[in-house]
Amino acid sequence: MHLAKKSKFAIIIGLLPALLLYTIFAIVPILQSFYYSLMEWNGFSEMKFVGLSNFKMLFQDPLFWKSAKNNLFVVIASVLGQIPIALVIALLLNRKLKGAKFFRTIGFLPVVLSTVVISLTWSLIYNTKNGLINELLRTVGLESLTQNWLGDTSWSMIAVCITVIWQFVGLYLIIFLAALQNIPEEVLEAAKIDGASEWVTTWKITIPMIWDTIIVAVILCISGSLRTFDLIYVMTHGGPAHSTEVMALYMFNETFNKLQYGYGSAVSVVIFFFSLLLIFIVTKSMGKKMI
Amino acid sequence: MKKVGMMVLGVFLLFGLAACSSDEKTSGSSEIELTVWNDWTEERPENTVYRDIIANFNKENKDIEVKIESIPHDQYETKLRTQAAGKQLPDMFRVWPGTRITPLVEGDALLSLNPIMDKWKDKIPEGILKDYAVDGEQYAIPANISETSLIFYNKELLAEAGYDTFPTTYEDWKKLIASLTDKDITPIALGNKAIWPLQSVYISMIADRITGSEYLADTLNGKQSFTDERFVKALTVIDELTKLNAFNEDLNTIDEAQARTMFISGNTAMHVAGSWAIGPILNDVEDADNIGLAPFPDFGGEGELGKMTGAAGGGIALNSSLSKEKQEAAFTFLEYFYNDELYQKLMKANIIVPVQVEMDDSVPGILKSANEFAQGGGIAPVYDASLTPELTDVINNGLQSITLGEKTPKELAEEMQKAYEKNK
């Protein structure tokens, strides 16, 4: 501790390598894409300055708005799905439950798995002809409920979101469990002595005491879902008919499939500000000074 | 604790030294190393041929070492474009002909092969070489010809539906599809998740049959339009096939390889794919004689019936920024690689090649048919080899929308024309 007071120099030296790497690989590319976003460039040719016309084109593209809408859907599904589910499971596992360790490992497993593995496995589960879900429905005689989960535009987004939720519940579960274990025993004991029921203790003591952690989890969740790309790319390629296309995927297609590097950069700039805005709104509305 | 740490460190150092010394052995002489990027990831006979020849080359040429780096086909071109944008292309890389190399040529990323073209000039017909040339400069040598629209069919299942030979008109084809669905057999196995098959494999051929081969080039020159009713009619075929339930239900969620597996396992009567599927199908199918091969039927249009859509393929291009030394080495490699041995071995691996190779009886029936189709009426253009990347994207996604009933053929044609005019 007193080392920090003594020499600012040591701190700077310590931070320098990480800061340098971060600047080169994160900050500089972001600034670069600001620059590219004003150009017309196919990646090979000479760049041509076109001002804000990329942005004009972008805001007029209905496909971009569709991808933004889909992205918001993913954000909402993740926040409303991942956080509450993770919280409930964490509260359960925090009690002296038999086999809590086992369930904790099971819950965390999807986080460790590669996204490609998850995507391919869930694609098989969702398959309309011989997928697990439809087979199950058929076996119990609910054939009328079977769907072409990923192939039907009205179901594909929901199906993808369920997978996204499943993938990340474990992550927040661990975060919440850590926070729960930090609640001092005495506080809970005092509540018990005062005759508070379990329900009241949870709502009045436990949740408020980990509220900060919940906000962090929500922000992680939002920024994570705004960046979501790999899972959808492998599962559906954004299809069928753009029904699961999110902003990052839209950017990827415009840039690399249509060879519009300038336009693609404009898209990423918009995603950047969109994310900033969303996180700003959320932190403001949840009433904490996170950023 | 400290002792253990030292031991671990010691072990690491030992391994480090060992690695160094073994490195020195191979790179001791002034050996030129060339990296070649390709998409030979699948276990296919032709990929083995390519790899074998490179291995032989490395054995015979002590001073040149060619290193193979393989990237899965679906990601290959994306990766190539990304690297090209960052000027980080490898020494040599597999490229596709037509409009797919033009951006690379325009960005000065490719080295012209004109200085060494004498070796191939008389061997490979000009019409095929032309695929890899831009403005008179040759940028790669074709290793094979791929036909992109072949109908593979299961003779047994067709017989069950009452057909001994494959229908030659569209009307009869639809009847066949209807009688197959009546018998609860999925008529055509299609895997369109990656969204190119319906365009590349289906529309290229169907449109050529209906509009003739000049239409596509004329449209891209502005002399014709995508809203031409003949082209709309071609798109309508996909709509009609979908409505007839000609495809498996999960067409948009499985990929091409999965669809091929469906066909090979004998559950579906037909599978439409290019010549790249011949090898895998012959390899994995239980009874090769049960598989027939047919060209697309007559759609009653202006195209010649003998034509087959396709393109030259298997070309390897060189990085324009190679040093003099590396350039020489790369030329030596290309001369070694694109040789009779390659073409003969490819033919044995069920690949159609651009040069004349003698065929014996061991060549399977469907390969012979495929070869006949290629010699039949010439090569017709493939859509995604001619369209700009942007138009390709529009038609790929549009065709998927048609299969979902979310877009009509006419709407797609209009959308394509609009995209074309925007970028004119």
Q: Which residues of B touch A153 (CB under 8 A)?
A: 404, 406
The whole-number pLDDT of residue A2 equals: 57
Same domain, B339 and B393: no
**Chain A contact set for B108 (CB, 8 A):** 44
Q: Mean pLDDT by 10-residue block, N- to C-terminus, for chain B (424 residues)?
A: 53 48 45 91 86 93 92 86 86 87 87 91 77 89 88 94 92 94 93 91 93 88 91 95 92 90 92 89 88 91 83 90 92 92 84 75 76 68 84 91 92 94 80
Q: What is the pLDDT of residue B2?
A: 52
For residue A204, the domain's CATH number is 1.10.3720.10
Same domain for B319 and B306, yes or no, is no
> Are the beta carbons of A123 and B397 separated by less than 8 Å?
no
Domain of B411, CATH number, reads 3.40.190.10
What span, in angstroms and rounded, lies between the C-alpha atoms of A265 and B289?
53
pLDDT score of B23: 42
**Contact assessment for residue B273 and residue B130, using Cβ atoms and an 8 Å cutoff:** no
- Dihedral angle of Cα B155, B161, B166, B167, to the nearest 10 degrees: -170
Structure confidence at residue B28 (pLDDT): 44
- Please, what is the average pLDDT of chain A? 88
Give the pLDDT confidence score for residue B12 in this predicted structure.
Answer: 52
Report yes or no on A187 lying in a domain.
yes
Residue B417 lies in a domain: yes
Indicate the number of domains in chain A.
1
Pair (B54, B138) in one structural domain: yes
| Separation of alpha carbons A97 and A115, rounded Å | 30
Distances (CA, A) of A104 to A78, A98, A118, A175, A176: 20, 11, 19, 12, 12
Secondary structure element (H or E) that encloses residue B271, with its range: strand B268-273
Q: Which residue of A has its CA nearest to B110?
A: A44
Q: How many CA atoms lie within 13 A of B356 on its CB side?
A: 3
Contacts of B163 (CB under 8 A, 6+ apart): B176, B179
CA A153 – CA A250 distance, rounded (Å): 17
Interchain contact, A42 vs B104, CB within 8 Å: no
pLDDT in the model for residue B8: 54
Task: For residue B381, give the nearest of B257, B156, B233, B208 by alpha carbon.
Answer: B208
Which percentage of chain A shows pLDDT scores above 90? 42
Same domain, B288 and B315: no
Residue B364 falls within a domain, yes or no? no
Tell me which DSSP letter residue A258 carries: S
Domain carrying residue B230: 148-310+376-422
CA-closest candidate to residue B335, choices B46, B99, B66: B66
Q: What is the DSSP letter of A183?
A: S
pLDDT of residue A5: 62
The answer to whether residues B155 and B141 belong to one domain is no
Q: Are residues B306 and B326 located together in one domain of the fold? A: no
The closest of B239, B238, B245 to B187, measured between CA atoms, is: B245
Q: Which of A258, A260, A263, A265 to mutate to test the interface with B (most CBs of B within 10 A)?
A: A258
DSSP state of B397: H
How many other CB atoms are there within 10 angstroms of residue B363's CB atom? 15
Question: Taking CB atoms and an 8 Å limit, are B253 and A126 in contact across chains?
Answer: yes
B272 and B140 within one domain: no
Domain assignment present for A198: yes
Number of structural domains found in chain B: 2
Instruction: Write the DSSP symbol of residue B288.
Output: G
Same domain, B65 and B176: no
> Are B385 and B242 within one domain?
yes
Shared-domain flag, residues B190 and B269: yes
Residue B191 is assigned to a structural domain of this protein: yes
ipTM: 0.73
Question: Do B195 and B332 have their domain in common?
Answer: no
Place of tokens 């990052």: A248
Pairing of strands B92-95, B315-318: antiparallel
Q: Give kind and range of the element (H or E) at residue B95.
A: strand B92-95
pLDDT value for B97 = 85
For B171-188, what is each residue's pLDDT tens digit? 999 999 999 999 999 999
- Residues in chain A, pLDDT under 50: 290-291
pLDDT (0 to 100) of residue B16? 47
- Subunit contact A128:B252, Cβ cutoff 8 A: no
Cα A146-A149-A151 angle, rounded to 5 deg: 120
Residue B163 pLDDT: 92
Whether B396 is in a domain gets the answer: yes
Cα–Cα distance measured from residue B334 to residue B317, given in angstroms and rounded to the nearest whole number = 9
Query: A253–B393: do the CB atoms touch at under 8 Å?
Result: yes
